[in-house]
Chain A
Amino acid sequence: MIEGILIGLNTALSLKNILMVVMGCFFGTIIGMLPGLGPMTAIALMIPITYGFDPATGLILMAGVYYGAVFGGSTSSILINAPGIPGTVATSFDGYPMAQQGKAGKALAIAAYSSFAGGTIAAIFLLFAAPSLSKISLSFRSPDYFALMILGLTAVAAFSSKGQFLKAMMMAVLGLMLACVGQDTLSDIPRFTFNNMNLSDGISFVLVVMATFAMSEALTIILRGTDPSSAAKAISLKELGSIKLDKDETKKTLKTIPRSSVIGFIVGVLPGAGSTIASFLAYGMERNFVNKEEKEKFGKGSVHGLAAPETANNAACSGSFVPLLTLGIPGSGTTAVMLGALLGFGIQPGPRLYMTNPEIFWSVIMSMYIGMVILLILNLPLIPYIARILAVPRTFLIPMILFFSVTGIYLMSFNTFDIFLMIGIAVVATGLRLYKFPMPPLILAFVLGGLMEENLRRSLLISDGSFNFLWDRPLTAIILAFTILIFSWQSYISLKSK
């Protein structure tokens, strides 16, 4: 492990990679602050840029964007009660009341320290958990992987759908359908290409991500007539007040951080759960941990209530890298985008990643520490200045997002067919978004589609066409049992409320 840490430090501390972390954190913070544009959009816009780099640098940049966006989302939550991303909704419960009491600076400082501590502690957990889990996952066979992917898809559909489980499952199936377009990997037989040569290589992953996130989010903003930069304008005009914490506030923050870090990390590791659930769970748990007097303050500007979700959502970000780096199976939409980008580099994340590409594995973990320090520097003294940069009117912001989306995909293939396909998918996705059809299950399914088919193929060929492989191995059976449990629970909730 020491050798790995040194390899990671060597890669992460190179000037280029430090620059990438700074860039990623800065860009992520800005996007995270804008309500409506989440980390997936930020990462999607970064993908074409990362193809000019080596895989480690590309992943470091994307990871920086990811936790930068989570970090940045808290700022608009606290200052104007408009969470930049769903993972920072719980932050506004106590952050905004604090800002209204004239303690905006303190609230931002608590959020920054908690995020820093949560992210750093979780990165330490990741440091120990990832290699151990990698060793365990070496014993995984094709049926286990197939079952794990089904579990991942079901979990993401269950948790990201907010009670719309069937819609989420439909989106997951649509993602898998899109992934099947193009030549079959084994036999090279064309599927669903309709004699169109442009489709014979399949649909590009970057195209689908750009269309369903960056472009469709931009179109949705225009359709709804919202102005994401209004948040930034409000921030830059606001009086922040002191950012210094007194003894009592420091004590309360320090008490909350360890327990919320553990909750955040565990939830982050679970497939599909992510930072939103982690932050709500940590908020609820913290309320149970504190005494009656403190409990009364929840929702009215409690330090515990602010520190808990902020610690947990950043810890969850680090936690979500565990299944990605060790199993090669992303646990959330955001890490699915990263997996897609890694596959684009020709890197297959999984249990062997830290043996075959130790520099990628360790440098990502090491860059997280550097990223957390950078975010602390960015978030405390620079927020009012970042906010000023952000006050870009939407008349300029939206065309820029569309420009980077179209150019990004054009630069990858130099094929105008891809531009038209992207516009088509974006228009459909915008319509689906209006009726609350979630997009993360579609992306996860699209990324996992190829791997899922490959593992199902191997499992069925080994078992001579019998589906016994689903319960022959105890591990496969246990994973599938969890899937059935989630499926049944979600169906029960849906039917009960109907």
Chain B
Amino acid sequence: MKISSVKIISLLFFVLSAFYLYTANQIQVFAFDVNSPFNAKTFPIYLGYAGMFFAGLQILLPEKSVEKVNHNVLDYKKVIYLVIIMIFYGLTILKVGFFLSTSIFLLLSYYFLGERRWKLMLIFSFPFVAVFMFLLHGALNIYLRDPLLKYLGIIG
């Protein structure tokens, strides 16, 4: 018997709801609040039950039509690349600074999505981010931490 992906997702949601319910029961409420009709864990407990109820129904009831996704035509490689670039961006934004990390993020994203017009890629990375930073700093007065530009004396 083959179990459909939707049922597997529902099963995962059922487990998540059960864990949520368990965690909700572990919430430490104040001693005077324990027997109160409503305390910090009441609503989450209801949600845990509700999640298990709906996920349980989805698992138990027969499916109208099995949701078929053709994984062969999906471009997982590019999505994984983009996710890695975004994580890399998140890791470097504070240490390297907004300007360099954002420009490299954009440049790498264009490249991995198949763009090879280097002139355009460069225009829409470094100068684009510079203009964006100028607008944030100059127009909206939003401070952006950038150790590199600070070291170079471009921003204060």
Contact = CB atoms under 8 A, between A and B. Distances in A.
Interface of A: 52, 163, 166-167, 169-170, 173-174, 176-177, 180, 184, 186-187, 189, 191-192, 219, 222-225, 393-396, 398-400, 402-403, 406-407, 410-411, 414, 416, 419-420, 423, 427, 430-432, 434-437, 452-453, 456-457, 460-461, 463-465, 494-495, 497-498
Interface in B1-32: 5-6, 9-10, 13, 17, 20, 23-24, 27-30
Contacts of B23: 192
B86 A225 contact: no
Interface residues of B, number: 67
B76 A456 contact: no
A435 B20 CA distance: 23
Interface centre among B27, B47, B109 (most CB of A within 10 A): B47
A85 to B, nearest CB: 22
Interface centre among B5, B6, B43, B120 (most CB of A within 10 A): B43
Contacts of A222: 75, 78-79, 82, 113
A402 B29 contact: no
A287 B51 CA distance: 42
Contacts of B145: 414
Nearest to B8: A435
Nearest to B23: A192
Contacts of B144: 411
Contacts of B57: 166
Contact of A173 (B51, B89, B110): B51
Interface centre among A184, A223, A395, A400 (most CB of B within 10 A): A395
B58 A170 contact: yes
Contacts of B44: 177, 180, 191-192
Contacts, number: 164
Given A187-B30, A411-B136, A416 B43 contact: no
Contacts of A186: 40
B105 to A, nearest CB: 7
Given A177-B20, A407-B102, A494-B61, A393 B115 contact: yes
A125 to B, nearest CB: 36
B37 A464 contact: yes
Contacts of B24: 191-192
B14 to A, nearest CB: 9
B43 A170 contact: no
Nearest to A170: B54
Interface in B99-140: 102, 105-106, 109-110, 113-115, 120, 124, 132, 136, 140
A457 B132 CA distance: 45
A396 B110 contact: yes
B73 interface: yes
Contacts of A398: 82, 109, 113
